[in-house]
Amino acid sequence: MNTVSDGLPQSPPPSPPGIQHHPAPLIERNSAITEPAWVRWSLILVALLFLLGFLLLPLVTVFVEALRNGWSAYLAALTEPDALAAIRLTLLTAAIAVTANLIFGLAAAWAIAKFEFRGKSLLITLIDLPFSVSPVVAGLIYILIFGAHGWAGPWLMDHGIKVAFAVPGIVLATIFVTFPFIARELIPLMQEQGTEYEQAALSLGASGWQTFWHVTLPNIRWGLLYGVLLCNARAMGEFGAVSVISGHIRGQTNTMPLHVEILYNEYQFSAAFAVASLLALLALLTLGVKAWLEWRHADQLAATRRH
Partner 1 sequence: MSPTVFAQGHTPRIARTSARRSVIPGFGLTLGYTLLYLSLIVLIPLAGVFYKSAGLGLEGIWAIISTPRVLAALKLSFGAALIGATINAVFGTLIAWVFVRYTFPGKRFFDAIIDLPFALPTAVAGIALTALYAGNGWIGQYLEPLGIKVAYTPLGVIVACTFIGLPFVVRTVQPVLQDAEQELEEAAASLGANRWQTITRVILPTVLPAVLTGYALAFARAVGEYGSVIFIAGNLPMVSEIAPLLIIIKLEEFDYAGATAVATAMLILSFFLLLVINALQAWARRRHGGKP
Partner 2 sequence: MDIRIRNVHKHFGPFIALGGIDLDIASGELIALLGPSGSGKTTLLRVIAGLEFPDHGQILFGGVDMARHPVRERRIGFVFQHYALFKHMTVFENIAFGLRIRPRNQRPSTSAIRARVLELLDLVQLSGLEQRFPSQLSGGQRQRVALARALAIDPRVLLLDEPFGALDAKVRKDLRQWLRDLHHKTGVTTIFVTHDQEEALELADRIVIMNGGAIEQVGPVDQVYEHPRTPFVFDFLGGTNVIAAELRGRRLWIGDRDIAVLHDSIHPSGPVDVYVRPGDLRLADDTAPGIQVEIQTVHRAGPIVRITARTEATGQPLSIELPHLHHDVPCFTVGARLRLRLMQFSVYPRSLHIPERTLPTPILIGRERTRVHPY
Q: Which residues bind partner 2 (CB under 8 A)?
A: 7-8, 11, 14-15, 17, 22-23, 25-27, 29-32
- The interface with partner 1 within residues 3-42 (CB under 8 A) comprises 4-7, 30, 32-35, 40
Select the span of 14-22, 125-133, 154-162, 217-225 touching partner 1 (CB under 8 A). Answer: 125-133
What minimum distance in Å lies between the beta carbon of 38 and partner 2? 17
**Residue 144 binding target from partner 2, partner 1, none, CB below 5 to 8 Å by type:** partner 1
Distances from the Cα of 249 to the Cα of 5, 22, 76, 79, 136, angstroms: 63, 72, 21, 18, 18
Among left, alpha and beta (phi > 0; psi -120 to 50; other), residue 268 is beta
The residue among 14 and 119 lying less far from partner 2, judged by its C-beta, is: 14
Q: What angle do CA 151, 153, 157 make, to 5 degrees?
A: 145
CB of 147 to partner 1, least distance (A): 8
By beta-carbon proximity to partner 2, the closer residue of 27 and 57 is: 27
CB of 122 to partner 1, least distance (A): 10
Nearest approach in angstroms of CB 64 to partner 1 is: 9
> Cβ(178)–Cβ(98) under 8 Å?
yes
Q: Is 217 in the site for partner 1 (CB under 8 A)?
A: no
CB nearer partner 1, residue 15 or residue 199: 199
Nearer to partner 1, 72 or 265 (CB): 265
* 116 is a contact residue toward partner 1 (CB under 8 A): yes
Number of residues that bind partner 1 (CB under 8 A): 109
**Distance in angstroms (rounded) separating the CA atoms of residues 171 and 162:** 12
User: Which range, of 12-20, 71-79, 81-89, 234-242, touches partner 1 by CB under 8 A?
Assistant: 234-242
Task: Identify what 37 binds: partner 1, partner 2, none; CB under 5 to 8 Å per kind.
Answer: none
Residue 156 CB, nearest approach to partner 1 (Å): 15
Site for partner 1 contains 267 (CB under 8 A): no
Residues 140 to 199: which contact partner 1 by CB under 8 A? 140-145, 147, 149, 151, 172, 175-176, 179, 195, 198-199
Choose the stretch contacting partner 1; rule: CB under 8 A; options: 9-17, 49-57, 72-80, 219-227: 49-57
State the SS3 of the chain: CCCCCCCCCCCCCCCCCCCCCCCCCCCCCCHHHCCCHHHHHHHHHHHHHHHHHHHHHHHHHHHHHHCCCHHHHHHHHHHCHHHHHHHHHHHHHHHHHHHHHHHHHHHHHHHHHHCCCCCHHHHHHHHHHHHHCCHHHHHHHHHHHHCCCCCCHHHHHHCCCCCCCCHHHHHHHHHHHCCHHHHHHHHHHHHHHCCHHHHHHHHCCCCHHHHHHHHHHHHHHHHHHHHHHHHHHHHHHCCHHHHHHHCCCCCCCCCHHHHHHHHHHCCCHHHHHHHHHHHHHHHHHHHHHHHHHHHHCHHHCCCCCCC
Q: Is residue 293 a contact point for partner 1 (CB under 8 A)?
A: no
Residue 42 touches which of partner 2, partner 1, none (CB < 5 to 8 A by kind)? none
Rule CB under 8 A: is residue 75 a binding residue for partner 1?
no
